[in-house]
Amino acid sequence: MTSTPTSVSSEGSINPKDILDPVVLQDLETHQKFMQCAIDTAEEALRGGETPVACVLVHGGKVVARGMNDTNRSLNGTRHAEFLAIAQFLEQFPPTEMKNTDLYVTVEPCIMCASALRQYGICTVYYGCGNDRFGGNGSVLSVHSDQSLDPGYPSYGGVYRKEAIMLLRRFYIQENENAPNPRAKGNRELKTVV
């Protein structure tokens, strides 16, 4: 799966959300490789009935931990992909090694996860699509860069943004019996234009 760094809308203009930061473009192939690992893990979550949000932690150029949401199965709202990946990481490394570790996650970390990542001192976060409801890396709050807190971390969005959005859309057109107020969705259609 390859995604172009930018896309043109039907009106001929480039969607600003598809413009990747020059820092990302400098090593786009590497970022796409690791984000593809997160996308593949999100696909696994979707097949298991979970919200398809997933991540990988990269240390020393290798994926050393993975996480996918486990909130539906566990009925525990704190079982986000980032928390599960951090737990797996800490089984192998001391917390201080987080400063030498990058996170690739399909959806911008929520406020809770952004705070945890900051407290652990993550090196850099790369995410697919923004999180307009709960985003902690700029969409709602800028937990990653708030100057009044501990040292922040750089965060870059847009790597495989469309693929991440399509995973979420595929999930949200399904029935979710674990939702607090499940709604019938039999008449919903998957929108394929991002």
Distance CA 63, CA 59 (A): 7
Distance CA 21, CA 29 (A): 14
Is residue 97 part of the annotated active site? The answer reads: no
Among 176, 137, 160, which residue's Cα sits nearest to residue 45? 176
Beta carbons of 91 and 84 less than 8 angstroms apart: no
Residue of 50, 82, 97, 108 marked active site: 82
**C-alpha dihedral, 145 to 147 to 148 to 151, nearest 10°:** 70
Neighbours of 35 (CB within 10 A): 27
**Residue 111 burial class via C-beta count within 10 angstroms: exposed 0-12, middle 13-18, buried 19 and up:** middle
| AA letter at 150 | D
Q: Using CA of residue 74, residue 76, residue 78, residue 80, what is the dihedral sign?
A: positive
Active site residues: 82
